[in-house]
Amino acid sequence: MAKPKTRKWSNLKGVVPDKPQVTDERLQRVLKLRDERRGKDMDALAQEWNELEAADALAKFEQSKRNEKYDAIERLILDQIETVVKPAAGTDLWRSNSNQGTFSPKFTPIAVVTDKTALRKWIEDTNQEHLLEVPKGALNDLVREALDPALAATLTPDQRALLKPGDPSSGAPPPGVTVFLDQAVHHTGGPVVKPTGQDDSSDD
């Protein structure tokens, strides 16, 4: 009999608490749907999971096609406002006479950091160190490195004894950080469902 595969982070089950569950209306609906399926075996549950994945694939494809239409219409509307509406009305707001609403351009600045050193110096020079707080994604990476035993397995007992909470493979998160374990299903394979109309380039 094949040895069961060890799932990464499964060693934390029962060691750190499960991610807190919010009791709300959605959760109650989820629990009701779960209880309605109590009598189903794994094969039936897997089949329903695959059916949902197929529906998701189709919905994502259809949403992608809709997004392309949004983009095309948006570009044309902005062009019409700039070249037709503004010259004729002196304003960049267009109001429909057939209950289609109003349209006007929206401008949103997008920030991209190209020189982290210069930005950090500015933050420090202006005494805004609070802007240097660790973002959530980076903190998660630090915690996972700390809880990952891979490096510790290569160290001597004396080296492991020098590890401090938050150090890679220390087994403990940085001070002030609480760890919860989120459990979910990862699925690969299953029936390959090709969204209908995937090769259809027509705009119907």
How many Cα atoms occupy the beta-carbon half-sphere of 143 within 13 Å? Answer: 18
Residue-range definition of the domain harbouring residue 155: 114-177
**Residue 74 within any structural domain of the chain:** yes
Is 171 within 8 Å of 149 (Cβ atoms)?
Answer: yes
Q: Percentage of the chain with pLDDT > 90?
A: 48
Q: Give residue 201's pLDDT band: very low, low, confident or very high (50, 70, 90).
A: very low
Looking at the fold, whether 52 and 72 belong to one and the same domain comes out as yes
* Cα separation values, 55 from 48, 60, 134, Å: 11, 9, 38
Q: Of 108, 131, 159, which closes a domain?
A: 108
- State residue 194's pLDDT score: 67
Instruction: Locate all alpha helices (DSSP H) within 1-103, ordered by sequence.
Output: 25-36, 42-80, 86-89
Asked whether residue 160 carries a pLDDT value surpassing 80, the answer given is yes
Cα-trace Rg, the chain: 27
**Residue 150 within any structural domain of the chain:** yes
Q: Within 10 Å of residue 164's Cβ, how many Cβ atoms?
A: 10
Looking at the fold, whether 74 and 120 belong to one and the same domain comes out as no
Mean pLDDT of all residues in 174-187: 84
**Residue 82 within any structural domain of the chain:** yes
Alpha-carbon span 30 to 36, nearest angstrom = 10
- State residue 102's pLDDT score: 93
Looking at the fold, whether 153 and 123 belong to one and the same domain comes out as yes
Looking at the fold, whether 168 and 119 belong to one and the same domain comes out as yes
Residue 190 corresponds to which amino acid?
Answer: G
**Residue 135 within any structural domain of the chain:** yes
Q: How far is CA 58 from the centre of its chain?
A: 20
Asked whether residue 204 carries a pLDDT value surpassing 70, the answer given is no
**Residue 153 within any structural domain of the chain:** yes
End-to-end CA distance of the chain: 54
In the numeric block, the tokens 């959530």 are attached to 136
Tally of structural domains, the chain: 2
Q: Within 10 Å of residue 173's Cβ, how many Cβ atoms?
A: 19
**Residue 122 within any structural domain of the chain:** yes
pLDDT in tens, 123-157: 999 998 888 887 778 888 989 999 998 888 888 98
pLDDT in tens, 28-85: 999 999 999 999 999 999 999 999 999 999 999 999 999 999 999 999 999 999 999 9
pTM of the model: 0.61
pLDDT in tens, 77-121: 999 999 999 999 999 999 998 888 999 999 888 888 899 999 899
Question: What 8-state DSSP symbol labels residue 156?
Answer: -
